C-alpha cells in the first residue's frame, strides 16, 4: 500500500508530525505543499495535515483538498491537524475539510502543536506571546506534539 503524506506547515509543527508519520508508515512519501505537488492516483492512502490558524487550515492545503476532492474520495484517507486547542482538533477537521472526505476518513486526529514565539515572526510571534501569557496566567501548559497520537494514527496505515 502506497501512502502520500500531504501537508502544509507554517511554523514547522505539522512538518515534524508528517516526518514522524513517514518514519512509521512503510512505502510512504512526503508531499510538502509549499514546494511539491501530488499525483494522487499513484497512491492507495492519502494523509492530509496542517496547522490551524484562526480556526482554519492553511489555504494551500484547503485549495489542494477542494480541487482534488473526487480523487481523494476514492482513497483511504487520514486527516491530522496541529493546534493549541487539542480538545477541538476534530471540530477543526469537520469545519475545514469536505464532509464526504471526513466521513470516509480512516483516522481523524489532532497531534497537538507548538507555539514557541522565539521561532516565529510578525503577527505569529505576537499571537504566540499573547497565548503564552494567557496560558501561564491560567496555570496551563504550552501545547506540545503528542507522539503517542501520531503512532496510533500511523498504525491505521500499515
Ligand atoms: C497566528 C496564530 C493563530 C493560531 N490560531 C489557532 C487557533 O485558532 N486554534 C488553535 O487551536 N491553535 C491556533 N494556533 C496554534 C497553532 O495551530 C500551532 O502553533 C500549530 O502547531 C501550528 O502548526 P504549524 O507549525 O504546522 O503551522 C495559532 C497559532 C498562531 C501563530
pTM of the complete model: 0.96
Q: Which residues line ligand 1 (CB under 6 A)?
A: 9-14, 51-55, 82-85, 113-115, 123-124, 127-128
Number of domains in the chain: 1
For residue 132, being part of any structural domain is answered with no
Blockwise average pLDDT, block size 10, the chain, 158 residues:
97 97 98 97 98 97 98 97 96 98 96 93 92 91 96 95
The two counts, helices (H) then strands (E), for the chain are 7, 5
For residue 128, being part of any structural domain is answered with no
Distance CA 35, CA 18 (A): 15
28-32 sheet: strands from edge to edge: 28-32, 3-8, 45-51, 76-82, 107-110
For residue 133, being part of any structural domain is answered with no
For residue 48, being part of any structural domain is answered with yes
Q: Which domain holds residue 101?
A: 3-114+144-155
- Rounded to the nearest angstrom, the distance between the alpha carbon of 1 and the centre of ligand 1 is 32
CATH of the domain at 65: 3.40.50.360
Cβ atoms 84, 53 nearer than 8 A: no
For residue 130, being part of any structural domain is answered with no
Backbone angles phi, psi at 75, to 5 degrees: -105, 165
For residue 137, being part of any structural domain is answered with no
- Rounded to the nearest angstrom, the distance between the alpha carbon of 42 and the centre of ligand 1 is 31
For residue 126, being part of any structural domain is answered with no
Index of the ligand 1 atom closest to the CA of residue 50: 26
For residue 134, being part of any structural domain is answered with no
Amino acid at each position: 500500500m502506497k501512502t502520500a503524506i500531504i501537508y502544509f506547515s507554517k511554523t514547522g509543527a505539522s512538518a515534524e508530525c508528517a516526518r514522524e508519520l513517514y518514519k512509521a508508515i512503510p512505502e510512504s512519501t512526503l508531499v510538502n505543499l509549499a514546494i511539491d505537488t501530488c499525483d494522487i492516483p499513484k497512491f492507495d492512502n492519502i494523509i492530509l495535515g496542517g496547522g490551524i490558524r484562526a480556526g482554519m487550515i492553511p489555504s494551500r492545503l484547503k485549495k489542494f483538498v477542494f480541487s482534488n476532492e473526487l480523487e481523494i474520495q476514492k482513497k483511504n484517507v487520514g486527516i491530522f491537524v496541529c493546534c493549541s486547542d487539542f480538545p477541538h482538533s476534530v471540530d477543526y477537521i469537520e469545519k475545514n475539510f469536505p464532509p464526504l472526505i471526513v466521513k470516509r476518513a480512516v483516522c481523524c486526529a489532532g497531534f497537538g502543536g507548538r507555539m514557541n514565539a522565539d521561532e516565529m515572526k510578525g503577527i505569529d510571534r505576537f499571537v504566540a506571546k499573547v497565548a503564552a501569557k494567557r496560558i501561564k496566567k491560567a496555570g496551563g501548559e504550552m501545547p506540545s506534539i503528542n507522539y503517542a497520537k501520531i503512532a496510533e494514527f500511523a498504525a491505521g496505515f500499515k
